[in-house]
Structure 1
Amino acid sequence: MKKLRSTIDAVARRECRVLIVGESGTGKELVARHVHWRSGRRDGPFVPVECTAIPESLIESQLFGHVKGAFTGANENAPGAFRAADGGTLFLDEIGDVPLHLQAKLLRCIEQSEVVPVGDVMPIPVDARIVTATNRDLGDLVRSGRFRSDLYYRLRVVTIRVPSLRERPGDIGALARHRLEALAARYREPPRSVGPTAASLLEAYHWPGNVRELFNALEHACVLAPRAVIERDDLPDEIRDAPSADDPQPRSLAAGQRDIIARALKQAGGNQSRAARMLHMERHRLHRMIVRYGLQDLT
């Protein structure tokens, strides 16, 4: 984590574009926020956009804005995310899911530092630092023709890789203490601690949902634990009952993600809703990933 922090400090001081890569739940948005907070733009806005959460029919308007009357329902002008981030940082999460037909417009916006709202013809200057993130292998997407190579090289001036939680079990104790302190402040109660047996289970678990899953598990324990010390029985079932055998390291980001989803589907008996809850993601997003990785036979 020292290397990660030093990389964040180095890129924060400079106006270069940053691509953050890592599995879902590793804290890519938090890394982007730290880049913003430590930069000269810290007093400007930080505007996060999750590209997968926006319907394809609306993403152009959400990014670049629109003028009144541009389409049905456009009852007033809207600035869009780029203009909302003017003077600050625009964080485009899951950039690999931006439709191919919009990538050319996104590239022009980045190169020219201007946007053309939907329904307009006049470009509007914007001054926003672009930070992007993905849990996909953009290189593979470029080779398969699903992502523009020129946009890819524009975005990846500096790449920051956020390791999965299973790659850094030594950080689990510090992350747990930090989260428990934050939960104590939120619930206005004394901070709890993790007992030795529960701590061993946390360190042995494979964490398919990464830091997000760890934080949710600790909040689950805080809500239900009757004592100041979190014990084994206070943890979620999937952590208490997880096998102790170590999982093999993934061959690549995409291969590791496919293995995690396949394992969750098997544990959930093929039930996508249950698997989505285990992975702490929306069901529709899990379904897209099942199709992407050819795992339909497990459902």
Structure 2
Amino acid sequence: MISIKSIASTVAPRQCTVMILGETGAGKEMVARYIHAESDRRDAPLIPVDCSALSDTLFESQMFGHVQGAFTGAVRESLGFVRAADGGTLFLDEVGELSLPLQAKLLRVIQERCVTPVGDTRAHEVDIRFIAATHRDLAKMVREGTFREDLFFRLNVVVTTLPPLRERAEDILPLANHFLQKQADLYDEPARRLSDAAAAALVRYSWPGNVRELANAMESAHVLAQGDVIELADLPMQLQSARPTPAGTPELCLSELERRTIAEALRRTDYCKAKASRMLGINIQRLNRRIERLNISTRHS
């Protein structure tokens, strides 16, 4: 995840279109929001669009907006997703789910950077940064004729692939702590910490739902925990019964995994603890305690 964030930080100040690939729930929208937050568009909105939920009949109204009276039921003017994102970022989630006719309409917006609301005769210019995401193999879809080649090349400028959570075990505990901190902030409560048994269960679970499943699990655990420590019994049942890694598979102990993750975050942030704590999703006091406990160097070697 540190590597992905490094790429995202490099891309953020640019205006180029970004394509984020990865399984459903792997955290593609999190990466898109990070890119937006690090860009000079951060004060303007990021508008997420679930392309799988756009209907053919209402696409133009949903995307481009409409004027009052444009059709039955249009009792007031609507900006639409594109104009709502003017000055900011439009995040096209699951762009591979669009039908061919809708792909053509989207391509025109990307090329011309203007939209005409339904019922209007005037084109409205927009200043938008496009970020797209999909779990599909778009190159294969192009070969099969189900995705437009011209749209593919428009979207496929800078590409980053987000591996599934099961392939990046070193990200599990930092992400879990990040989600626990979010719950603590939401309820204005102290952040819960994971017991060793609970942490071990998180690491050995296969996470078919990826980051989204982890976020839901941490929300549930925060609510159910009786004290400041989340025990194994506080986790969802499927995590409690997760099978250990098969014999013969290399496995780092949790303390070593945590030590390596923190050391890498410090290195990536030039040993700035404040930046490292934000990258890891924990507060600086907790980071200092773990640095001391794990005997991690905080100076350049």
Question: For the superposition of Structure 1 and Structure 2, which TM-score range results when normalised by the shorter chain?
Answer: 0.7 to 0.9
Q: SS of the counterpart of 2:25?
A: coil
Aligned pair 1:47/2:43, yes or no? no
Counterpart of 1:130, as a letter, is F
Aligned pair 1:19/2:19, yes or no? yes
Counterpart-to-counterpart distance in 1, 2:141 and 2:242: 34
Counterpart-to-counterpart distance in 2, 1:102 and 1:171: 36
- Give 1:175-194 correspondences, 5 Å limit: 175-194=175-194
State the shift of 1:119 in Å.
3.1
Aligned pair 1:86/2:78, yes or no? no
Counterpart of 1:220, as a letter, is S
Q: SS of the counterpart of 2:184?
A: helix
How many residue pairs match? The answer is 246
State the shift of 1:66 in Å.
1.9
Q: SS of the counterpart of 1:7?
A: helix
Match of 2:265 in 1: none
Counterpart-to-counterpart distance in 2, 1:181 and 1:87: 31
CA contact (8 A) 1:201 1:240 kept: yes
State the shift of 1:147 in Å.
1.0
State the shift of 1:234 in Å.
1.2
Aligned pair 1:98/2:95, yes or no? no
Match of 2:283 in 1: none
Counterpart-to-counterpart distance in 2, 1:136 and 1:47: 21
State the shift of 1:50 in Å.
1.1
Counterpart of 1:163, as a letter, is P
- Give 1:1-299 correspondences, 5 Å limit: 1-244=1-244
Counterpart of 1:106, as a letter, is L
Counterpart-to-counterpart distance in 2, 1:94 and 1:200: 33
1:2-46 deviation per Cα after TM superposition (whole angstroms, max 9, x unaligned): 321121111111110011111111211111111111112112221
Counterpart of 1:230, as a letter, is I
1:78-109 deviation per Cα after TM superposition (whole angstroms, max 9, x unaligned): 22111111111111111111221121121111
Counterpart of 1:178, as a letter, is H
State the shift of 1:118 in Å.
2.4
Counterpart-to-counterpart distance in 2, 1:164 and 1:119: 44
Structure 1 runs of 4+ aligned residues shifted over 4 Å read: none
State the shift of 1:210 in Å.
0.8
**Alignment identity in percent?**
53
Counterpart-to-counterpart distance in 1, 2:229 and 2:202: 14
Q: SS of the counterpart of 2:55?
A: coil
| TM-score (normalised: structure 1) | 0.78
Q: Please, which runs of 5 or more residues in structure 1 have no aligned partner?
A: 247-299
Residue range with higher mean Cα deviation, 128-137 or 224-233? 224-233
CA contact (8 A) 1:51 1:59 kept: no
Match of 2:267 in 1: none
Counterpart-to-counterpart distance in 1, 2:98 and 2:74: 22
CA contact (8 A) 1:60 1:118 kept: yes
State the shift of 1:121 in Å.
4.0
- The structure-2 alpha-carbon separation of the partners of 1:188 and 1:41, relative to structure 1 and needing over 3 Å to count, comes to closer
Q: SS of the counterpart of 1:86?
A: coil
Counterpart of 1:51, as a letter, is C
Q: SS of the counterpart of 2:61?
A: helix
Q: SS of the counterpart of 1:19?
A: strand
Counterpart-to-counterpart distance in 2, 1:78 and 1:189: 39
CA contact (8 A) 2:56 2:102 kept: no
State the shift of 1:245 in Å.
5.0
State the shift of 1:208 in Å.
0.8
Counterpart-to-counterpart distance in 2, 1:142 and 1:118: 30
Q: SS of the counterpart of 2:91?
A: strand
State the shift of 1:228 in Å.
2.0
| TM-score (normalised: structure 2) | 0.77
Counterpart of 1:28, as a letter, is K
Q: CA RMSD in A?
A: 1.6
Counterpart-to-counterpart distance in 1, 2:187 and 2:23: 30
